[in-house]
């Protein structure tokens, strides 16, 4: 089974639109018979993505570090929950189980996961596709920063294409696995 790793927040955000977006995106993922890999939590956008896939009879693999089991409230109802030692092992396992990556709204942890996977791609450690859902303009400033870094000589032109911007949930159907 093909799987997509979704990086997203353990918070809800200030608007229900982020949880609703996660539900729509993950219904589409499940309907395409694509498995989900995610951070293993029941809370925030993370919990919404897992629950949406599960509610649509999809396959969900969660990966959560021991120290976050209580903080992020581990999701024991997923298809398979892996409890790992630390964040490094979490990111590596999420990478190993996935055929592509999708970034939804989140905070520093989401950005950490996204930038690590982008860096691995830049270094040619993998060629798995990476997508960012920029509905509501959530990631406009981040994408501007990446373009600015290129203009200032810190990111090569060919690396600008490592991240594929999607504008609406239905664009998920364009993801190539």
- Residues belonging to the chain: 177
DSSP string, 136-158: GGTTHHHHHHHHHHHHTTSS-GG
Judge contact between 168 and 134, C-beta under 8 A: no
**Could you tell me which residues come within 8 angstroms of residue 108 by beta carbon, excluding any fewer than 6 positions away?**
none
In CATH terms, the fold of domain 3-174 is Rossmann fold (3.40.50)
Residue 143: per-residue pLDDT: 98
pTM of the full structure: 0.96
Query: Mean pLDDT across the stretch 55-66?
Result: 96
Alpha-carbon separation of residue 35 from 1, 40, 75 (angstroms):
7, 14, 16
Please determine, for residue 161, whether its predicted confidence score (pLDDT) is greater than 90.
yes
CA dihedral 117, 156, 144, 142 (to 10 degrees): 20
Residue 71's pLDDT band, with cuts at 50, 70 and 90, is confident
pLDDT in tens, 86-100: 999 999 999 999 999
The CB density around residue 110, as the number of other CB atoms within 10 Å, is: 21
């Amino acid at each position: 089974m093909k799987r997509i790793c979704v990086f997203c927040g353990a918070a809800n955000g200030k608007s229900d639109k982020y949880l609703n977006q996660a539900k729509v995106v993950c219904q589409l993922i499940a309907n395409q018979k694509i498995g989900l890999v995610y951070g293993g939590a029941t809370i925030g956008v993370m919990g919404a993505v897992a629950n949406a896939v599960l509610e649509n009879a999809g396959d969900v693999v969660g990966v959560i570090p021991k120290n976050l089991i209580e903080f992020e409230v581990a999701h024991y109802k997923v298809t398979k929950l892996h409890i790992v030692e630390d964040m490094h092992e979490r990111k590596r396992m999420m990478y190993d189980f996935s055929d592509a990556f999708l970034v939804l709204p989140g905070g520093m942890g989401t950005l950490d996961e996204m930038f690590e996977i982008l860096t691995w791609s830049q270094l040619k450690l993998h060629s798995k596709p990476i997508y960012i859902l920029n509905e509501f303009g959530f990631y406009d400033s981040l994408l501007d920063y990446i373009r600015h870094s290129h203009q200032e000589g810190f990111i090569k032109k060919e690396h600008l294409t490592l991240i594929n911007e999607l504008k609406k949930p239905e664009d998920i159907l364009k993801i190539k696995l």
